[in-house]
Amino acid sequence: MKHTISVLVENHFGVLNHVSGLFSARGFNIDSLAVGETEDPTVSRMTIVATGDDRIVEQILKQLNKLIDVITVEDVTGDDMIDRELMLLKVSADQATRNDVMQVVNTFRAKVLNVSPDTLTLEVTGSESKVDAMLELLRPFGIRETVRTGVIALSRNRELKMPPSGIAAEGPVRKSASKKTASSSRKKAVSKAD
Amino acid sequence: MELTGAQIMIKCLEKEGAEYVFGLPGGAILPTFDALYDSKLKFILVRHEQGATHMADGFARATGRTGVCLVTSGPGATNTVTGLATAYMDSVPIVCITGQVATHAIGSDAFQEADVMGITRPVTKHNFLIRDVKEIASTVRKAFYIANTGRPGPVLIDFPVDVSRAKTEFIWPENVHIRSYNPKPVQTGSSYTADQIRKAAATINASKRPVLYVGGGAVVSGAEKELFEFVEKTGIPITTTVLGLGIFPETHPSSLRMLGMHGTHYANYSVQGSDVLIAIGARFDDRVTGKIDKFAPHAKIVHIDIDPASISKVVRVDHPIVGDIKPALRDLLKEVKNLRPQIKDWTKQIQEWKEKHPLKFKQQGSEIRQEYVIQQVGEITKHQAVVTTGVGQHQMWTAQWYGFSSPRSMITSGGLGTMGYGFPAAIGAKLGRPKETVVCFDGDGSFQMTMCELVTASYYKIPVKLIVMDNGHHGMVRQWQQLFYRERYAASELGKSNPDFTGIAQACGVFSMSIQKNDEVIPAIKKILAHDGPALLHVKVARTDNVYPMVPAGHALDQVMDMA
Domain map (residue ranges) of chain A? 1-78, 81-152
Name the architecture of domain A81-152: 2-Layer Sandwich (3.30)
Helix or strand run (H / E) with residue A70: strand A70-75
Q: How far is B65 from chain A (nearest CA, A)?
A: 8
3-state secondary structure of B142: helix
Are A175 and B118 an interchain contact pair (Cβ–Cβ within 8 Å)? no
3-state secondary structure of B493: strand
pLDDT tens, residue by residue, B312-354: 999 999 999 999 999 999 999 999 999 999 999 999 999 999 9
**Facing residues of B470 across strands?**
B540
Exposed e or buried b for every residue in B502-534, given b needs 16+ CB within 10 A?
bebbeebebbbbbbeebebbeebbeebbebeeb
Are A175 and B121 an interchain contact pair (Cβ–Cβ within 8 Å)? no
Cβ-nearest to A184 among B127, B182, B312: B182
Q: Please, are residues B268 and B551 in contact by the beta-carbon 8 Å criterion?
A: yes
Are B184 and A181 an interchain contact pair (Cβ–Cβ within 8 Å)? yes
Contacts of A188 in chain B (CB under 8 A): 182, 185, 308
Contacts of A169 in chain B (CB under 8 A): 175-177
Q: How far is CA A69 from CA A2, A121, A122, in A?
A: 25, 39, 37
Is A99's Cβ below 8 Å from some Cβ in B? no
Is A161's Cβ below 8 Å from some Cβ in B? no
pLDDT tens, residue by residue, B172-210: 999 998 998 988 653 444 478 899 999 999 999 999 999
Residues 6+ apart with CB under 8 A from A157: A79, A80
Q: How far is A188 from chain B (nearest CA, A)?
A: 8
Is A177's Cβ below 8 Å from some Cβ in B? no
pLDDT tens, residue by residue, B295-305: 999 999 999 99
Cβ-nearest to B126 among A21, A68, A178: A68
3-state secondary structure of B169: strand
C-alpha dihedral sign at A119, A125, A130, A132: positive
Q: A139-142: long-range contacts at Cβ-Cβ below 8 A with a sequence spacing of 24 or more?
A: A141/A91, A141/A92, A141/A93, A141/A97, A141/A100, A141/A101, A142/A91, A142/A92
Q: Please, are residues B16 and B66 in contact by the beta-carbon 8 Å criterion?
A: yes
Q: Please, are residues A88 and A119 in contact by the beta-carbon 8 Å criterion?
A: no
Cβ-nearest to A182 among B127, B180, B188: B188
Exposed e or buried b for every residue in A1-20, given b needs 16+ CB within 10 A?
eebbbbbbbbbeebbeebbe
Q: A1-78, what's its fold?
A: Alpha-Beta Plaits (3.30.70)
Contacts of A171 in chain B (CB under 8 A): 141, 145, 174-176
Q: How far is B414 from chain A (nearest CA, A)?
A: 20
Q: Note the pLDDT of residue A182.
A: 35
pLDDT tens, residue by residue, B525-561: 999 999 999 999 999 999 999 999 999 999 999 999 9
In whole angstroms, what is the distance from residue B81 CA to residue B76 CA? 10
Q: Note the pLDDT of residue B184.
A: 66
Cβ-nearest to A21 among B122, B221, B311: B122
Task: Work out the number of other CB atoms within 10 angstroms of the CB of residue B104.
Answer: 10
Average per-residue pLDDT in chain B? 96
Cβ-nearest to A172 among B126, B144, B307: B144
Q: Please, are residues B90 and B67 in contact by the beta-carbon 8 Å criterion?
A: no
Instruction: Order the strands of the A29-37 sheet from edge to edge.
Output: A29-37, A43-51, A2-10, A70-75
In whole angstroms, what is the distance from residue B305 CA to residue B555 CA? 26
pLDDT tens, residue by residue, A138-187: 999 999 999 999 999 998 888 877 765 433 333 333 333 333 333 333 33
Q: Please, are residues B7 and B140 in contact by the beta-carbon 8 Å criterion?
A: no
Q: What is the DSSP string of B319-385?
A: EEEES-HHHHHHHHHHH----TTTTHHHHHHHHHHHHHS-------TTPPPHHHHHHHHHHHTTT-S
In whole angstroms, what is the distance from residue B216 CA to residue B229 CA? 18
Residues 6+ apart with CB under 8 A from A88: A113, A121, A122, A123, A146, A147
Respond yes or no on whether the N-terminal peptide bond of residue B93 is cis (omega within 30° of 0).
no
ipTM: 0.90
Contacts of B178 in chain A (CB under 8 A): 68
For residue B117, the chain A residue with the least C-alpha distance is A14
Residues 33-92 of A with CB under 8 A from B: 55, 58-59, 62-63, 65-66, 68-71
User: Strand A152-155 and strand A81-92: pairing?
Assistant: antiparallel
Confidence of residue B470 (pLDDT cuts 50, 70, 90): very high
**Facing residues of A3 across strands?**
A50
- Looking at chain B, the whole-number percentage of residues with pLDDT higher than 90 is 96
Are B312 and A21 an interchain contact pair (Cβ–Cβ within 8 Å)? no
3-state secondary structure of A141: helix
Q: How far is A166 from chain B (nearest CA, A)?
A: 9
Q: Please, are residues B63 and B432 in contact by the beta-carbon 8 Å criterion?
A: yes
Q: Note the pLDDT of residue A185.
A: 33
Contacts of A162 in chain B (CB under 8 A): 179
Contacts of A167 in chain B (CB under 8 A): 177, 179
User: What structural domains and CATH numbers belong to chain B?
Assistant: 2-169 (3.40.50.970), 194-356 (3.40.50.1220), 370-540 (3.40.50.970)
Q: Note the pLDDT of residue A1.
A: 87
In whole angstroms, what is the distance from residue B132 CA to residue B103 CA? 9
3-state secondary structure of A146: strand
Cβ-nearest to B322 among A58, A167, A193: A193
Are A175 and B221 an interchain contact pair (Cβ–Cβ within 8 Å)? yes
| Topology agreement, domain A1-78 and domain A81-152 | yes
Return the residue in B91, B139, B179, B330 with the most chain A beta carbons within 10 A, the one to mutate for interface testing.
B179
Q: Which candidate, A44, A25, A33, places its Cα nearest to that of B120?
A: A25
Block mean pLDDT (10 aa), chain A, length 194 = 94 92 91 95 96 91 94 90 95 96 96 96 96 96 96 88 50 35 35 36
- Cα torsion B404, B410, B415, B421 to 10°: value is -140
Are A191 and B322 an interchain contact pair (Cβ–Cβ within 8 Å)? yes
